[in-house]
Amino acid sequence: MAKVYELIIAGGGPAGITAAVYAARKKLDFVLVTRDIGGQAAWSGDIENYTGYQFVTGPELAVKFEEHARKYQFPIKENEGLISIEKENEIISINTGKARYSTKALIIASGKRSRELNVPGERELKNKGVAYCATCDGPLFAGKEVAVIGGGNSALDAALQMVKIAKKVYLVNNTPELGGDKVMRQKLEEAANVTIFNGSRVERINGEKFVTGIGISSGSVKKELELQGVFVEIGLLPNSEFAGIVKRNANDEIMVNNACETDIPGIFAAGDVTDVPEKQIIIAAGEGAKATLAAFKFLMRN
């Protein structure tokens, strides 16, 4: 008979790692199933608002998360993401494509992924100048000219990283003004090597073997920019396509109450994959802790 865990945690970002630390401290019989360790935190640049760190980079914080988690020596199934979830009687089963696991309780902490522009040339030139993570790929564009697409915090963060690396940074934002934190906007506006195009859209990404430029439009005015890199930072999509068993909102975020419970008993969700407002590392971590505490209470009652 296949093993039935008390708890499975799906996702290794801030929510999943924190949930796992709490599960380990509660001495639960559990496994962490994840595509990677760190999640979106590992993609972030400079972080100045995570309590306890006046300044830390995303990759550094992700390493700290992993070090903390591995201290407890619980099983981790890496390079595995959920494909489907089923529940029969009181047992929940998940399929990762590599294996099936069964459990009495499940925490979904699968996070979000980058939204694509869906313009000509984007998919053809992905990893050939088109990137979705300035922290990961920014150093490859040292001394080159790049564009950052977007106007929120993630775009501002990417642009601020590239200001230090690239020769020139174009920020293309489709709204009339930049969003994001005021302090980030000020830093960007003060940078000498940044040009901001507000109210502008990317029409296409040019290039054959590698990116050579982009075409943008602002109303009826069209412009061609010659550059070598494009960082797409226009928001995120929840990794919830496998979660048809639970209720989701119009944005495909998993709907939870204030105890991280979904509408299916025994299934909990935490972090950016949920409809909890404000997608922040510290909020995801807190939600992960709440989810495990709620799952522990559920297991004690059942």
Tell me the whole-structure pTM to 2 decimals.
0.82
Catalytic positions: 133, 136-137
Residue whose structure tokens are 């830390």 = 56
pLDDT at 67 over 90: yes
> Could you give the CA distance from residue 299 to residue 30 in angstroms, rounded to a whole number?
12
> Could you give the CA distance from residue 86 to residue 67 in angstroms, rounded to a whole number?
32
Give the tens place of pLDDT for each residue, 127-147. 899 999 887 789 989 999 999
> Could you give the CA distance from residue 228 to residue 231 in angstroms, rounded to a whole number?
10
CB 201 within 8 A of CB 119: no
Band of residue 243 on the pLDDT scale cut at 50, 70, 90: very high
Residue whose structure tokens are 């401290």 = 25
Question: What is the reported pLDDT for 187?
Answer: 94
Band of residue 1 on the pLDDT scale cut at 50, 70, 90: low
Residue 231 amino acid letter: F
Give the tens place of pLDDT for each residue, 96-105. 999 999 999 9
Whole-number percent of the chain with pLDDT over 70: 100
Band of residue 32 on the pLDDT scale cut at 50, 70, 90: very high
pLDDT at 40 over 90: no
Give the domain 4-113+236-301 fold. Answer: FAD/NAD(P)-binding domain (3.50.50)
Over range 101-114, report the average pLDDT.
96
Question: What is the reported pLDDT for 264?
Answer: 98
pLDDT at 91 over 90: yes
Question: What is the reported pLDDT for 50?
Answer: 87
> Could you give the CA distance from residue 90 to residue 31 in angstroms, rounded to a whole number?
18
Band of residue 90 on the pLDDT scale cut at 50, 70, 90: very high
* CATH homologous superfamily for the domain 116-232: FAD/NAD(P)-binding domain (3.50.50.60)
Over range 59-67, report the average pLDDT.
92
Quick check: do 4-113+236-301 and 116-232 share a fold?
yes
Band of residue 17 on the pLDDT scale cut at 50, 70, 90: very high
Average pLDDT, the chain: 94
pLDDT at 54 over 90: no
| Residue 214 phi, psi (nearest 5) | -135, 155
Give the tens place of pLDDT for each residue, 177-230. 999 899 999 999 999 999 999 999 999 999 999 999 999 999 899 999 999 999
> Could you give the CA distance from residue 216 to residue 233 in angstroms, rounded to a whole number?
16
Each domain of the chain, given as residue ranges in start order, spans 4-113+236-301, 116-232
- Alpha carbon separation from 274 to 108, 110, 111, 243 (Å, rounded): 9, 9, 8, 11
Structure tokens at 121: 């040339």
Question: What is the reported pLDDT for 47?
Answer: 82
pLDDT at 44 over 80: no
